[in-house]
Structure 1
Amino acid sequence: MTTGQEAEQLARTYLEKQGLEYVAHNVRYPFGELDLVMRHQDFWVFVEVKFRTNTQFGGALQAIRPKQIQRIRKAANHYLQLNKINAPCRFDVLAIDGLQINWLQGCF
């Protein structure tokens, strides 16, 4: 795997196998981007996908910064308002380090 797009496709496939339903990907606004939008039971799930080929300079989880979390939250709120969705949501991270996948639910 060499690109972010490949990582996002792997993440989508992995999450679908875990029972989540795909809704959208790469939803972009001027103030933030949502890598994956999924549904899991009654929840809307906004997934940040992080990929690193190796952990020499820190793993995928260490790549998430507070400003990025703010942008993701703002984009998710906008998505919910724009689509008139009034349902619970959560923010997950799917971290891919080489071939290892870590799915963290309700991270922020």
Structure 2
Amino acid sequence: MAEHNDSGRLAEQLAADWLISKGFELVETNYRHGHAEIDLIMKHRGLLIFVEVKFRSGTGFGFAEEFVDSTKKKLLVKAADQYIYEKDWHKDIRFDIVGVYKDRAGTINFRHFEDAFY
């Protein structure tokens, strides 16, 4: 597996652990539908939350939320619609982005963008 895939999977695990520490419940990881993949599906306060995780080693090229373009958003919404249908979910949902940042010292930091798009 390519190094960027390894760092992406690690970032997803770190983000999941961080969200769990904030009271979120992990429902599913890496849900696939067609060409779309939802990194994390969580529950929190009665909401089903679809989370896109983006890893960045620094912010020189921009922040994580800037790398979720309109095409990616459409794919995520399509996959979420399928998941909602499969699970027969009738409550509210939300789309979040979690940026995982590694600084020069190797310290991991998170930025959580709740209700980032729809």
Of 19, 43, 46, the match for 2:47: 43
Q: Runs of 5+ in structure 1 lacking a partner?
A: none
What TM-score, normalized to structure 1? 0.93
Moved more, 48-57 or 3-12: 48-57
Residue 77 of structure 1 aligns to which amino acid in structure 2? Answer: D
Say yes or no: does 1:97 pair with 2:106.
no
Deviation at 1:100, TM superposition (A): 2.1
Which aligned runs of 4 or more in structure 1 are off by greater than 4 angstroms? none
- Report the Cα distance in structure 1 between the residues aligned to 2:63 and 2:112, rounded to whole angstroms: 14
Deviation at 1:31, TM superposition (A): 3.5
Deviation at 1:104, TM superposition (A): 1.0
Deviation at 1:59, TM superposition (A): 2.3
What TM-score, normalized to structure 2? 0.86
Q: How many residues align?
A: 107
- Report the Cα distance in structure 1 between the residues aligned to 2:55 and 2:27, rounded to whole angstroms: 21
Query: 1:33: which partner in 2?
Result: 37
Residue 27 of structure 1 aligns to which amino acid in structure 2? Answer: Y
**Cα RMSD, aligned residues only:** 1.1
Say yes or no: does 1:73 pair with 2:82.
no
Greater C-alpha Rg: 2
- Report the Cα distance in structure 1 between the residues aligned to 2:68 and 2:11, rounded to whole angstroms: 16
Query: 2:61: which partner in 1?
Result: 57
Q: Runs of 5+ in structure 2 lacking a partner?
A: 1-5, 103-107
- Report the Cα distance in structure 2 between the residues aligned to 1:107 and 1:60, rounded to whole angstroms: 12
Say yes or no: does 1:106 pair with 2:110.
no
